[in-house]
Structure 1
Amino acid sequence: MQLHHDVARFAAVLGKLALLLAANDAVFWASHVETCLRAVENSDAWGLRRFKEMFGGTGSLNDLVVQRDGSPLLQENDELRALLDEAWILADELARREL
């Protein structure tokens, strides 16, 4: 079954986000995003809800700063912020339609 184009777009952003996180040793978050991605690819709204839950509170995904040898990675963090922003907007739009 083919995903609705908005869901497929959200899944694509989650995939990019998971790859970026894994490539920058944020394995914990990469694993959680991949779990959400698998659910979304199976048309399971749990993945969407779980993704949105990862933004709550101190130490959330939104607080993450990727670094190497104690120094923040500027380009990678810019890309991370852009992907998080895009994914959040898409998740929010999809969640509103789900209700």
Structure 2
Amino acid sequence: MAELLHLGGIDDWAQAMYVLGRELSNDPEATAAKIVSMYGGMGSLNDLVLYKAGQPLEKENGELDILRSKLYGLCHV
């Protein structure tokens, strides 16, 4: 997911995902709670759309949607 976000120029979100990935092994429950909190409100993970050169990346956005759903399912217990 971080790589897709980076590809779409959403580097702040990509960096956040890299950091959370590193934190996961240290404190899985707290990290999962942080991840779930990223899904709510305006400007949330759910709102992100990947673009390159002003054009939406259809294939990559589809993949991002799948990964968002899987990640939420893994973290929302």
TM > 0.5: yes
Pairs aligned (count): 77
Q: Which residues of 2 match residues 24-43 of structure 1 at below 5 A?
A: 24-43=8-27
TM-score for both structures, normalised by structure 1: 0.71
Identity rate of aligned residues, in percent?
A: 34
2:68 matches 1:84? yes
Give me the CA root mean square deviation: 1.2
| Conserved? CA contact 1:48–1:91, under 8 Å | yes
Over 3 Å off, 4+ runs: none
2:38 matches 1:54? yes
2:36 matches 1:64? no
Give unpaired runs (5+ residues) of structure 1. 1-16
Larger radius of gyration: 1
| Conserved? CA contact 1:21–1:30, under 8 Å | yes
Q: Which has the higher helix share?
A: 1
One of 48, 51, 57 as aligned partner of 1:73: 57
Q: Which residues of 2 match residues 1-40 of structure 1 at below 5 A?
A: 17-40=1-24
Give distance in 2, aligned partners of 1:45 and 1:66: 29
